[in-house]
Chain A
Amino acid sequence: MKTFGGPVLFLDRSDINTDEIIPAKYLTEITKEDLKPYILEDLKLPGFDPNGPKTKNARVIVSRANFGCGSSREHAPWVFEVNGITAVIAESFARIFRQNMFNCGMAAIELPKADLDQIFTHAGHDDAAMSIDIEAGTLTMSGGGKNKTFSFEISPFDKALVLAGGWVDFADQKY
């Protein structure tokens, strides 16, 4: 199965929306790969640079509540995927974004605010990284010489989608 983990990009704000993740004007691109340069282009956060090395190197995004709200555009998970980011950890997700992630075989993982607060203490560490074990339901945050493991739950269906690599093949076999 797909492995999840690597350097973490911290986006410390709630309600990061799909238009910030990928502006609508790029929805005319026909291939996912064409979306790559435009990741998080309209997101304005102190210290965040959509073209900076932290964005380029990231494999995991950590954010706050209601991540991915707004449009149904699957271009939001796709722009993450083509940039190598295959997991988002947040306090909560907008429904459509969350399902789009799992439908693509990627992971949208919810953690309680207290756990996220601990994870965000690593935001200043250049070596901040996470490893995620979907089957075990655990993730380990490391950085600055420290590491800590957290447990999470995803629905059995979403877990099956990640393990199957997405919804289309799964559905075509069953329905």
Chain B
Amino acid sequence: MGKTTAEKIFDAHLVNEPFPGTKVLRLDAVLCHEITTPIAIDDLIRRGKDRVFDPTKIKAVIDHVTPSKDTKTATQAKILRDWARRHDIKDFFDIGANGVCHALVPERGFIRPGYTVIMGDSHTCTHGAFGAFAAGIGTTDLEVGILKGVCAFRQPKTIKFNVTGTLPKGVYAKDVILHIIGKIGVNGATDRVMEFHGSTIDNMTMESRMTLCNMAIEAGGTSGICQPDMTTVDYLWPFIQGDFAGKEAALADYSQWRADADAEYDQTIEIDVTVMEPTVTFGYKPDQVKTISEIAGTPLDQIYIGSCTNGRIEDLRIAAQILKGHKLAPNVRGILSPATPKIQQQAMHEGLIDIFMEAGFCVTNPTCGACLGMSNGVLAEGEVCASTTNRNFMGRMGKGGMVHLMSPATAAASAIEGKIADPRKYL
């Protein structure tokens, strides 16, 4: 019997099975940010165990509130910064070099096919785009990960999504994942890995695959996983060219992590993208989705483009393409948070920042900020935001605020019209 990608990764990283059904895995990457890590650091100090298992496998970034907005957030940043220095964690990203973790970490080439990755952040599933097993965990699991380089998991079952067809105009990875979440529900993949296959995924860029895997958690999924292929190798090539004779050799090596043809799945779900429309959430749960035709016209107060879901260069390019020559409607304000400094610089070089600013957008530094209502774009009571982020929970972007999740294209069209709008007429 063949294996799924997650099964292969579990087998290759198994330390032991302390109890039936629980597998302790060796970790290849432990990612840390300033919101969930400081309490783990404090606890390790309190226990007299202020150690790290391997400083080269720990990557740390200040990203949720940066630059710090008050004494408390400055203290969180300081605890992480001091800890990274104390333990000689070289891959630590502070102000000037920092960005949204799930965009920054892949951009630096830290994630490879077959890796096990944890972070005290639910959107860690993003990194499965590289053919890795990447799972969000809490602070206690993070603490053990930092100390011992291991994490315990139940062996997850895998749902195979066979996604086929050419994406219609105005439909992107964000629309595909919103559609999938709408179909299976917010707990449709709990304790499951969501393994993405099919011609649509094969033709997606790494950025789009990250958008797709990023929202696996919104269906309860442990990790999203895409199959490593030449697109993966091309993306990683600047970081791995010293390790392989050529790209074909890298592909041959990484292909060991592809699921076997006879792997056994909990469920296989066929997704035909050719019938999809731009998709938008309407309620307070990510599975409450409507097509653009059903929801266009909904009034808005704010447009937010950014986050680990859709703050990458391809997202900015799509939004700028639509915004070019247009202004924000007078009833809305627009905020752009490029996800990393590299993306921000690239967007400047390509003239995208000019397009956003000429449209009337405020361009912030890279940070998670507004996505979770912490800084840089919090909503007031009763306000409505068109957002390229990942969560529309009640109050998520500010107490009493409402969030409609959508693609950067739909957000850009909505910025022009001041209400939820169909991007296809601008493409």
Chain A residues within 8 Å of B, Cβ to Cβ: 15, 17, 19-20, 23-25, 27-30, 32, 42, 44, 65-66, 69-74, 77, 92-96, 99-100, 103-104, 155-157, 160, 166-168, 171-172, 174-175
Contacts and interface: CB of A to CB of B under 8 A. Distances in A.
B72 A172 contact: no
Contact of A69 (B137, B141, B186): B186
Interface in B1-52: 15, 18-22, 24, 35-36, 38-39, 42-43, 47, 49
Given A66-B186, A70-B391, A167-B152, 11 more contacts: A24-B374, A27-B374, A69-B220, A70-B122, A72-B119, A72-B124, A94-B187, A95-B220, A96-B136, A99-B138, A156-B22
Interface in B48-96: 49, 64-65, 70, 72-73, 75-76, 79
A157 to B, nearest CB: 4
Nearest to B26: A175
A168 B15 contact: no
B154 interface: yes
Contacts of A167: 140-141, 144, 152
B395 interface: yes
B285 A15 contact: yes
Contact of B49 (A28, A44, A73, A172): A172
A103 B141 contact: yes
B143 interface: yes
Contact of B154 (A70, A155, A168): A155
Interface of B: 15, 18-22, 24, 35-36, 38-39, 42-43, 47, 49, 64-65, 70, 72-73, 75-76, 79, 119-122, 124, 136-141, 143-144, 147-148, 150, 152, 154, 186-187, 190-191, 220, 222, 285, 372-374, 391, 393-396, 399
A139 B138 CA distance: 27
A61 B130 CA distance: 39
The winner among A65, A70, A103, A160 for most chain B CB atoms within 10 A is A70
A141 B148 CA distance: 40
B144 A171 contact: yes
12 contacts: A20-B393, A27-B35, A66-B220, A71-B122, A74-B36, A94-B190, A94-B220, A96-B137, A156-B20, A157-B22, A167-B140, A175-B148
Contacts of A25: 373-374
Nearest to B395: A42
B186 A73 contact: no
B391 to A, nearest CB: 7
Given A27-B35, A174-B18, A44 B394 contact: yes
A65 to B, nearest CB: 6
A25 B399 CA distance: 10
The winner among A28, A30, A70, A156 for most chain B CB atoms within 10 A is A28
Nearest to B22: A157
Contacts of A32: 39
Contacts of B35: 27-28, 73
A141 B90 CA distance: 53
Given A65-B187, A94-B190, A155-B19, A168 B143 contact: yes
Contact of A70 (B49, B120, B393): B393
A25 B379 CA distance: 12
Contacts of A172: 49, 144, 147-148
A166 B396 CA distance: 30
A27 B70 CA distance: 13
B367 to A, nearest CB: 13
Contact of A29 (B72, B136, B150, B373): B72
Nearest to B79: A30
Nearest to B222: A95
B186 A15 contact: yes
A167 B137 CA distance: 13
Contacts of A99: 137-138, 141
A73 to B, nearest CB: 7
Contacts of B148: 171-172, 175
Contacts of A103: 138, 140-141
A17 B22 contact: no
Nearest to B185: A66
A172 B362 CA distance: 48
A167 B19 CA distance: 14
Contacts of A15: 186-187, 285
Contacts of B190: 66, 92-95
A156 B65 CA distance: 39
Contact of A175 (B15, B186, B220, B373): B15
Contacts of B152: 157, 167, 171
A25 B397 CA distance: 10
A127 B18 CA distance: 40
Contact of B140 (A17, A29, A70, A168): A168
Given A30-B75, A96-B122, A155-B21, A19 B139 contact: no
A74 B139 contact: yes
